Amino acid sequence: MAYTDPGQRNKLIDIYDRPPNAAPVLFLSGIYAKITGVSSTTPSQSSTELNQNITWPRLVGQDMAVITHDVNIGYISGLKSRMFIVYDDPDAGQRRFDIDRIVDPDEQKVELHILALERIDGADPFDAMLTSRLDILERDTSLGDELGMSDPTFNTIATGIPCRVSQGKGVQKGNEVRSKSTVALTYREVFMRPWFRDPAPNGSFVPFTVVSGITYNTLPLSHNHWFLIPSATSVNANNESIPGEQYDILEIANPGLAYQYLAVTCEVVLP
């Protein structure tokens, strides 16, 4: 096959690794590349639980638009599809390309063709999917009645946290629904980045992260917390507050123990 003329690689790029349990780190810098736009790519398998057209974290279906590129570089070993490329464009500033696949066309270790995806607004694909906001509540049990129980009151400990809500099926009301004497339950799954009351300043989501001798990420989201969705800070087009619903947390899943995102199953009472 005919190889690319090295003189056509006239753009300098940096390659960052994105380990599953840590913040991104620089893998290589100052790599010469040829960047060419291509018309399309074959999408990955659908991820229905996230209401997406193709699998997280590459694309988020109708919530984003991307441009596909062929990034041509000389052969480098050790590249992985979890990595991403940063190009300091003199006209547009830093541009990020998420790697979709890495191809050595003839397996001769001469050059690589990297199919990479660029969001037109430069945001992280998963974060772009988080189109709602929530508050995290902590139940106040300091007061009690004669049975040792108290009416639920809550203290807000965090506000405006990005999330995405996937609605599940509700449990039907009983026959007394016409008298409005019963309530219905519905179950929803909330997707969000891992949350800690004492977050690490370096952006890591790993529990008990040590930065400058201080331990962070020691107080994670737990079953003792509740959500208010939408956040009390949310307003409509008329700048009016939007009433929120209280979500009782039933299960907190950390898929693959990768500390990249949480899938939180909640119960919501509907009057």
Given a cut of 70, the residues of the chain with pLDDT beneath it are: 21-23, 39-65, 120-125, 141-152, 168-184, 270-271
- Would you call the peptide bond into 57 cis, given omega within 30 degrees of 0 as the criterion? yes
pLDDT, tens only, 211-223:
899 999 999 999 9
Q: Would you state the pLDDT for residue 235?
A: 79
In this chain, the answer to whether the domains covering 6-125 and 130-270 adopt an identical fold is yes
What's the whole-model pTM score? 0.58
* Tokens coding 107: 């397996």
Class of domain 6-125: mainly beta
- Would you call the peptide bond into 230 cis, given omega within 30 degrees of 0 as the criterion? yes
Architecture of domain 130-270: Beta Barrel (2.40)
Q: Would you state the pLDDT for residue 124?
A: 65
Q: What angle do CA 45, 46, 50 make, to 5 degrees?
A: 140
Q: Would you state the pLDDT for residue 74?
A: 96
Helices (H), the chain: 125-129
Q: Would you state the pLDDT for residue 141?
A: 66
Kindly list the distances between the CA atom of residue 218 and the CA atoms of 110, 125, 197, 259, in Å, as whole numbers in the listed order.
47, 27, 8, 14
Q: Would you state the pLDDT for residue 108?
A: 94
Instruction: Give domain limits for the chain.
Output: 6-125, 130-270
138 Rama sector, left if φ>0, alpha if ψ -120 to 50, beta otherwise:
beta
Q: Would you state the pLDDT for residue 65?
A: 60
* Tokens coding 100: 């979709």
Chain Cα centroid distance, residue 265: 16
Q: Would you state the pLDDT for residue 149?
A: 57
Q: Would you state the pLDDT for residue 79?
A: 94
Q: Would you state the pLDDT for residue 8?
A: 95
199, 209 Cβ separation under 8 angstroms: no
The C-alpha atoms of residue 191 and residue 197 are separated, in whole angstroms, by: 18
Q: Would you state the pLDDT for residue 22?
A: 67
pLDDT, tens only, 126-150:
777 788 899 999 987 665 555 555 5
Helices (H), 46-187: 125-129
Q: Would you state the pLDDT for residue 220?
A: 95
